[in-house]
Amino acid sequence: MTPFGDAIRRLRERKGVSQKDMAKALGVTPAYLSALEHGHRGAPTFDMQQRIAGYFNIIWDEADALFDLAGVSHPKVTVDTSGLPANYTAFANRLARMIRNLPPDVIEELNTVLKKVEKGR
């Protein structure tokens, strides 16, 4: 599941809308919408993101948050460590190998560290 897919599912459930009805309104197949919600598809185009926000008639702040989630919803991530020190490459590879087995509290700790680094920029 991706953050964007999770957000769409929560919006859809909050509004009491089926995947079938939402897919029809957006002009996509229910299978596409299901794949999007389950993280089998990456983030949709910005046009589709706007159509989804419009479909739910959400306010700008909520739409911006939804668009931000789309930016971090690529289920198949590529990390380019070329030109970086060897320990960066080793870390990226270890993370890729271990991510499915990390408990939620460790993921949250790592997210906290990354947010601190982002704020420090």
Q: Where are the domains of the chain?
A: 3-71, 86-119
Q: What is the CATH number of domain 3-71?
A: 1.10.260.40
Please tell me the number of Cα atoms within 13 Å of 47 on its side-chain side: 3
| Global confidence as pTM | 0.73
Residue 42, pLDDT score: 81
Measuring CA to CA, how many Å separate 62 from each of 7, 8, 53, 121?
11, 12, 9, 25
Q: What is the mean pLDDT of the chain?
A: 92
- Write the pLDDT tens digit of every residue in 59-115: 889 999 999 999 888 888 889 999 999 999 999 999 999 999 999 999 999 999 999
